[in-house]
Amino acid sequence: MMHNPHASSSNLSNTHLFISDLHLCASRPHITAAFIEFLRQTAVKAKALYILGDLFEYWAGDDDINDTFHQVIINAFSTLAESGVPIYLMHGNRDFLIAENFCQAAKATLIQDPTLIDLHGKKVLLSHGDDLCIDDVAYQQFRSQVRDKQWQAHFLSQPLQSRKNQIETIRARSAQEKSHKPMEIMDVNADAVNTLVKKYHYPDLFIHGHTHRPNRHVIELDGKITIRLVLGDWYAQGSYLACNESGCKSISL
């Protein structure tokens, strides 16, 4: 499944769509509107929709599903699922606390990071991608802490508003720290990518997000080739990767 610039975006009946890093929040209504329009006009024609992390700017816990903004997203998802399009959702570094209550309400299926799928006879590895940024040691330490089940249980036992306040504080500190970090340490580490590709026996495609650096990379390892496709973020405008039996194409909204 090599990159094919002529992969059709009009007939999506046998096409799988991949998106990530939407960072949906009430303060960016134009992106929310673009996303809901994407679900109604494009995703509804597809074979399946995969969201590879960071659907939301942050997620404080499933007891926040009744929030008015979250209900809009949940309703749009459940409408899509009821139309016959399966929705697969992967945790990102912003929304790793999404759990079963959200998935049931949205009629989405939570998938592990990483996940290997079969796409038209090709092996495709999916990941959010943040655990490959191993050069950012401080971030990896933070990631290990917040992914710990005991830490999560303690955090979720606190009042919702308290959790939101803590997340806002962490986000502000993170933004400040990021401004001082070299750009290269916030990208995936080549050795970490190669190790993952080997572990999953050289998939034909490796699709991930997180870095906000949409691109196509060719990985040559042990005489085999894996194409690494990086998804774009939805800060300025939306984009998605459409893959069918002819290949994959990145499309901007």
Residue 70 is part of a domain; what is its CATH number?
A: 3.60.21.10
Q: Is residue 4 situated within a structural domain?
A: no
Query: Does residue 237 lie within any of the structural domains?
Result: yes
pLDDT in tens, 74-113: 999 999 999 999 999 999 999 999 999 999 999 999 999 9
Task: Please tell me the chain's helix, strand, coil percentages from 3-state DSSP, rounded to the nearest 5.
Answer: 40, 25, 40
Whether 8 is in a domain gets the answer no
In the chain the beta strands, taken as DSSP E runs, fall at: 16-19, 48-52, 87-90, 109-111, 115-119, 122-127, 205-208, 215-221, 224-230, 239-244, 247-252
Residue tagged 């006009």 (tokens):
41
Q: Could you tell me the CA-to-CA distances from 193 to 13, 32, 68, 106, 187 in Å, in that order?
A: 32, 32, 39, 32, 11
1 in a domain, yes or no?
no
pLDDT the model gives residue 10 = 56
Domain count, the chain: 1
| Residue that has been written with the tokens 């690494």 in this structure | 228
Examine residue 209 and state whether it is found in any structural domain, yes or no: yes
Tell me the CA distances in angstroms from 219 to 3, 199, 209, 228, 244, one per residue in order: 14, 14, 17, 7, 21
Which token pair is 26? 């009430």
Q: Given phi > 0 = left and psi -120 to 50 = alpha, else beta, which region is 222?
A: left
Task: Give the range of the structural domain holding residue 77, as residue numbers without chain letter.
Answer: 16-252
Q: Terminal CA-to-CA distance of the chain, rounded, Å?
A: 23
Fill in the DSSP letter of residue 50: E
Report pLDDT for 174. 83
> Considering the domain boundaries, does residue 223 fall inside one?
yes
- The list of the chain residues with pLDDT below 70 reads 1-10
Assigned domain for 2 exists: no
- Residue 2: what pLDDT? 36
Angle (CA) 169 172 174, round 5°: 105
Establish if 168 belongs to a structural domain: yes
